[in-house]
Amino acid sequence: MKHILKMGDTGAEVKKWQHWLNIHGFNAGEEDGIFGEKTREAVIQFQSTKKIVVDGVIGSQTQLTIERMKKEGDTL
């Protein structure tokens, strides 16, 4: 598992997650590598949809859920 990503974080890892959220229908806004409010809202929407802890943070549970989806070929 990668480290936790949250509001204010920046970099390539944030950009990767923004892209993933966007292509799966969760509007993270511009894929600029800045974890801002739009990215947080997209993470919350994803977490709510998947019925996991809703905290707006890309932590272990969110990352594991996404990894599981990738293995299963699930898009949402």
Work out how many domains the chain is built from and give that number. 1
Domain with residue 49: its CATH number is: 1.10.101.10
Asked if the structure places residue 32 within a domain, the reply is: yes
Given a contact cutoff of 8 angstroms between Cβ atoms, the answer to whether 50 and 63 are in contact is no
Residue ranges making up the domain that contains 38: 12-72
Asked if the structure places residue 5 within a domain, the reply is: no
Asked if the structure places residue 7 within a domain, the reply is: no
Asked if the structure places residue 62 within a domain, the reply is: yes
Asked if the structure places residue 50 within a domain, the reply is: yes
Asked if the structure places residue 20 within a domain, the reply is: yes
Given a contact cutoff of 8 angstroms between Cβ atoms, the answer to whether 7 and 56 are in contact is yes
**Interval 26-75: pLDDT, tens:** 999 999 999 999 999 999 999 999 999 999 999 999 999 988 988 887 65
Cα gap 68→71, rounded to integer Å: 5
pLDDT score, position 76: 53
Asked if the structure places residue 3 within a domain, the reply is: no
Given a contact cutoff of 8 angstroms between Cβ atoms, the answer to whether 58 and 4 are in contact is yes
